[in-house]
Copies of this chain bind each other. A is one copy, B any other.
Amino acid sequence: MSGSKLRGVLSPVLTPFNADYSVSETRFLKHCKSLLEQNVGLAVFGTNSEANSLSVEEKIRLLDLLIDAGVPGDRLMPGTGCCALTDSIALTRHAVQRGCAGVLMLPPFYYKGVSDEGLFRNYAAIIDAVADERLRIYLYHIPPVSQVGISLALIERLLKAYPGTIAGVKDSSGDWSNTKAMLDTFQPEGFDVFAGSETFLLQTLRNGGAGCITATGNVNPAAISQLYATWQQDDADAQQAQLDAVRKAFQAHPMIAAMKHAIAWQSGDESWKTMRPPLQELSQEQAGKLESDLSALSFKIRNAAALSGL
């Protein structure tokens, strides 16, 4: 296993559902292939994948679907951190055994105010139980949603206890000073820091970081991966500004519903709008604003027709 192919741009892949809330495997596979063709890696089962609305069994089935369809493991960084230690172990073990280059791991997020000692024990118990030297863990820091975060002190302790296995972090704190501290402290040791969105992509790369793992990668993959490939060129700031404008149109709404709406709209496949409860689709008013904002930017999802499951 080489960590190198996981650098760059990855996306928490949207999970399409059928009307009865079951996963639409056909649309999922099409979407994954489209992202790979646009140089975006697959951080399947992330927050924007509605992954915490999926059972471990459903995630294992989807992972198998991708790998059996020939998706290379070295482009896969599935989310495997669950509330229950036993779920995290089962899912992580499966991901490693199926050849995934890394896993993105939330801390257990039900109990609040837990100690770094308790979180350390959680990660240690998973690593010890999986007991596979191929395991590469990317820690997932997203306190606005999980309410349980990954402190710098915890990263330091984990890196010391499990060098090689603790491979990096996705920082979705939205706080650049935290990302910068991670970059300054840990990136020089080969610990890969990913920005939690393309908003900080250029800044992250200029500070030696590994790339970004971003929701918007689902709808704007080529342009984001283009900035990653050409960030040292003169037009990098202009590219970043263009990415920001597109993101702003989506971010004005609940992101997952907005991205699904855009795909439904541009692919002509209404099913793409379906959200599994407790999340819900955009209101008509939100949808109208999104469509008009994207039109004003002349924004098109590339190869949108290929995402239709019809």
Q: Which residues of A contact B (CB under 8 A)?
A: 21, 47, 52-58, 83-87, 90, 107-112, 114-115, 117-119, 121-122, 125, 144-148, 276-280
* CB-CB under 8 A for A108 and B145, given A54-B84, A83-B53, A84-B52: no
* CB-CB under 8 A for A53 and B84, given A108-B278, A110-B109, A114-B278: yes
For this chain, the copies found in one complex come to 2
Taking CB as reference atom, which chain B residue is nearest A146? Answer: B110
Taking CB as reference atom, which chain B residue is nearest A90? Answer: B55
Report B-chain residues with C-beta under 8 Å of the C-beta of A84. 52-55, 58
* Beyond A53-B85, A118-B279, A122-B278, 4 extra complex contacts between A and B, CB < 8 Å: A107-B278, A108-B278, A118-B277, A125-B277
Question: Are the C-beta atoms of A115 and B53 separated by less than 8 Å?
Answer: no
Taking CB as reference atom, which chain B residue is nearest A106? Answer: B110
Report B-chain residues with C-beta under 8 Å of the C-beta of A114. 278-279
What are 18 residue pairs bridging A and B, where the CB atoms are less than 8 Å apart in the complex?
Answer: A47-B110, A52-B84, A53-B84, A57-B86, A58-B84, A107-B278, A109-B110, A112-B147, A114-B279, A115-B278, A118-B277, A118-B279, A118-B280, A119-B278, A121-B277, A121-B280, A147-B147, A148-B278
